[in-house]
Amino acid sequence: AAVLLTGESIPSPRLIAAGAAIGIATFFKTTNAIFLLPLVIEVMLSNHLRPVRAISIVIGGWLAWCALQLGVLALEGSLSEYLHITKSVLLHHPNEVSTLTVGGLLRALWTLMDVWTAILVLAMAYALVKRDRLFLRTLRFPLLYLIAGLIAVFLQNKGWGYHFVIVLPGLVWLCSI
């Protein structure tokens, strides 16, 4: 999805595909739909000529994919079970007890990328001090993905090891820069 939004002028088919790509990745795990936010923010900040139209197209692509998934579930005869599971998760998830803390989120970043996380923090601090706008601009989109991943983990409120997989796209992208 992020690759589809690179460039100065982004044609509508790429915007639709970006939204659909997030739909593909998030349909069965609704808290991950938060990954639409980095796309929307990037479109707004990237001096797109018509950001409201572009954002609408991205969200339209996401909605189209979700509708397609619901249609497939209906054709397979499993839509009612999917809706039952989704309703159950929404009703009972807030009552689950967790020991997840902000410190746990930060420790997970270190566990996933160890020294590269420290190098990333140092590089960001250096870029801020030197006011390196090009470097900071390069970091913006992957940083938005990392923040969205951390928010999704926090919203899930469990902190089990596999929940942190969703921070990897933003974290690995940032550390590779």
* pLDDT-derived band at 47, boundaries 50, 70, 90: low
Mean pLDDT is lowest, of 97-106, 144-153, 167-176, for 97-106
* pLDDT-derived band at 68, boundaries 50, 70, 90: very high
pLDDT tens column, 125-156: 888 898 888 888 888 888 888 888 888 887 77
pLDDT of residue 67: 92
- Count CA atoms within 13 Å of residue 6 on its CB side: 8
Q: Which residue has the higher pLDDT, 99 or 70?
A: 70
pLDDT tens column, 7-22: 666 778 888 888 888 8
pLDDT above 90 for 39: no
Check residue 132 and report its DSSP letter: -
Q: Please tell me the distance from the alpha carbon of residue 46 to that of residue 49, in angstroms, as a whole number.
A: 9
pLDDT of residue 32: 65
Q: Which residue has the higher pLDDT, 61 or 34?
A: 61
pLDDT of residue 93: 66
Place of tokens 């020294």: 115
Nearest alpha carbon to residue 31 among 154, 169, 168: 154
For residue 138, what are its two tokens? 């390069």
Q: Which residue has the higher pLDDT, 73 or 91?
A: 73
CA angle 161, 166, 170 (to 5 degrees): 125
